[in-house]
Structure 1
Amino acid sequence: MTFTSLFADRKPMIGMVHLLPLPETPGFGGSVDAIYRQAQADADALIAAGIDALIVENFGDEPYLIGEPTPAQVAVMAAASSMIRRMTAIPLGINVQFNAYQAEIALAYACQAQFVRVEVFVDTVISAQGLAMPCSAQIQRVRRALGAADVQLWADIQTKYTHNLKDQPLTVSAKEAQAAGADALIVTGAATGQATPLDAVTEVKRVVMLPVVVGSGTTIDSLPDVLRIADGAIVGSALKVDGRAENPVSAERAQAFMQAARAQRGEG
């Protein structure tokens, strides 16, 4: 299944289920049940608003380790993702910070998710926690070994909160990601909630044949321009209480946003 067929030719709005801090992370509050309750509440609000897809992410685990999570963290993410999978039939994605490609594919495979978000696919980057290496070759092999060829790989290029070790244009990274087997590309602003430069999206779309998704900073005000240029948007902060990524989803904000998205897409 391709990106286009997955969303029936619609430019999708993808909402974020930002998990509370997981066990063994600095911010863990001591209750696994609290993680599940918040995930369910956020997913409920987004689904009720008519969101087109969801991504489950361990957003609360800052500062993120580079590489794979612990078994307990994978187990909690699996339970939360499976719960959400049972709640809805809309496409589901998995993102495990930071660049935990083995956990992402395993979770998507086990929880019947349709795609994973991969932060460092072809670029070698420096983050606040050190060097992160590209994983396109490895994740393709893990996916094949699991028989999970239907799990799409949505690849960030020159992802937020990092700097490329190799100085090259964004368009070069885009072409490399396409050649390495990405199913869609994600272009972001510099940080969570910061607007994605739409001229960068335009440049990337000129050099690849893949869908290009805006990965940060989309608001109701910017939605017309985003939908005019990009093939979809991942929306987190704009759907949260007070527009802050760390807050729960606001049902009112989510409903208003999706009403605007449907109007922009010419839907009834």
Structure 2
Amino acid sequence: MLKNRIIGALQIPSFGHGAARSMAWYEDFVLSNARSYVENGITAIKLQDETVEAGPAQARTLARTATLGAAMRREFPDLELGIIVEAHDPVAAIAVADACDAAFVRLKIFVGAMVNSGGTREALGPEAIAFRNRIGREDIQILADVHDRTAVPLTDVPNEMAAHWASRLGADALVITGSSFDDTLDRIARARDMGIKTPTVIGGSVTAANVTRALSAADMIVVSSALLRDGAADDAMDRWDPTKIRRFMEAANQ
């Protein structure tokens, strides 16, 4: 399990055609916003690629994400770094994590089959686990979403059954996020009632007002939206608000 219970998400503006900027700009963006997290108490960060791609992650996406992850590790050597890649690609995030020595990855559709805005998506889990084993990087932890809330399951599989599948397949932690905060807590409770002992992560909807309840129900949480600076643009060098981060951590540590 990760040392830190609270993971801040840092979304990178797209590398896509017509949108990409210089690597110097991306490095300034990532390091500036990571500093807001680290200096105010969040020392685990998930670096999140948001480049929409029809197939596997392209070489440019992999290279740029790995380069930015390496820059974060150099600037903040004690950081627990995570990687998520937007493309539905079973090995991309693990390959990037291997390249920049990240501690974990998040895979959104780990088991089963779902449909989202990009179409039908099959399970990433089996190939991802096989690739991780093949390169000898079992130390890279996999945080696997159980019925990611941005997609719809193609069959009526109960959430706790999907959690059981992900646990058995080899996920190191289960990301469980319902349609509301209360639904999230209910899903976690039902997974526990089924006897699932794999650590759980709440993947969204955590705020300073409910973080204490979140940490009493789950082993870890991911937070981002609640910490955004009011009115900040997606490409702002100060997109995450230091004051909100500090107050969130104060609430979490009560």
* TM-score normalised by length of structure 2: 0.91
Cα distance in 2 for partners of 1:256, 1:243 equals 19
Corresponding residue number in structure 2 for 1:253: 244
Corresponding residue number in structure 1 for 2:47: 56
SS, match of residue 101 in structure 1: coil
1:65, distance to aligned residue in structure 2 (A): 3.0
In the alignment, does 2:105 pair up with 1:116? Answer: yes
Give yes or no for contact 1:23–1:72 (8 Å, CA) kept in 2: no
| Structural mapping, 1:178-257, within 5 Å | 178-190=167-179, 195=181, 197-207=184-194, 208-242=196-230, 246=234, 248-257=239-248
Cα distance in 2 for partners of 1:154, 1:206 equals 21
1:27-48 Cα distance to aligned partner (Å, 9 max, x none): x153332222111111101000
Over 3 Å counting, the alpha-carbon distance change for 1:86 and 1:30 in structure 2 is closer
1:90, distance to aligned residue in structure 2 (A): 2.5
Cα distance in 1 for partners of 2:136, 2:233 equals 35
1:188-227 Cα distance to aligned partner (Å, 9 max, x none): 244xxx6462111221233211011100010000112111
| 1:86 aligned residue (63, 74, 86) | 74
| Structural mapping, 1:151-190, within 5 Å | 151-190=140-179
Give yes or no for contact 1:214–1:230 (8 Å, CA) kept in 2: yes
Larger mean Cα displacement after TM superposition, 212-221 or 82-91 = 82-91
Cα distance in 2 for partners of 1:152, 1:67 equals 24
Amino-acid identity (%): 27
Aligned residues: 248
Give yes or no for contact 1:157–1:185 (8 Å, CA) kept in 2: yes
SS, match of residue 26 in structure 2: helix
Give yes or no for contact 2:200–2:219 (8 Å, CA) kept in 1: yes
Runs of 5+ unmatched residues, structure 1: 264-268
Larger mean Cα displacement after TM superposition, 209-218 or 236-245 = 236-245
1:236, distance to aligned residue in structure 2 (A): 0.9
1:151-187 Cα distance to aligned partner (Å, 9 max, x none): 1111001002100011111000000001101100001
Give yes or no for contact 2:57–2:88 (8 Å, CA) kept in 1: no
| Structural mapping, 1:71-110, within 5 Å | 71-88=59-76, 89-110=78-99
SS, match of residue 253 in structure 2: helix
SS, match of residue 241 in structure 1: coil
* TM-score normalised by length of structure 1: 0.87
Over 3 Å counting, the alpha-carbon distance change for 1:259 and 1:159 in structure 2 is same
Give yes or no for contact 2:94–2:132 (8 Å, CA) kept in 1: yes
CA RMSD of aligned residues (A): 1.9
Larger mean Cα displacement after TM superposition, 94-103 or 38-47 = 94-103
1:253, distance to aligned residue in structure 2 (A): 0.8
Cα distance in 1 for partners of 2:233, 2:104 equals 22
Give yes or no for contact 1:17–1:43 (8 Å, CA) kept in 2: yes
Give yes or no for contact 2:37–2:242 (8 Å, CA) kept in 1: yes
Over 3 Å counting, the alpha-carbon distance change for 1:52 and 1:199 in structure 2 is farther
Look up the equivalent residue of 2:96 and give its one-letter code: L
| Structural mapping, 1:107-146, within 5 Å | 107-146=96-135
Runs of 5+ unmatched residues, structure 2: none
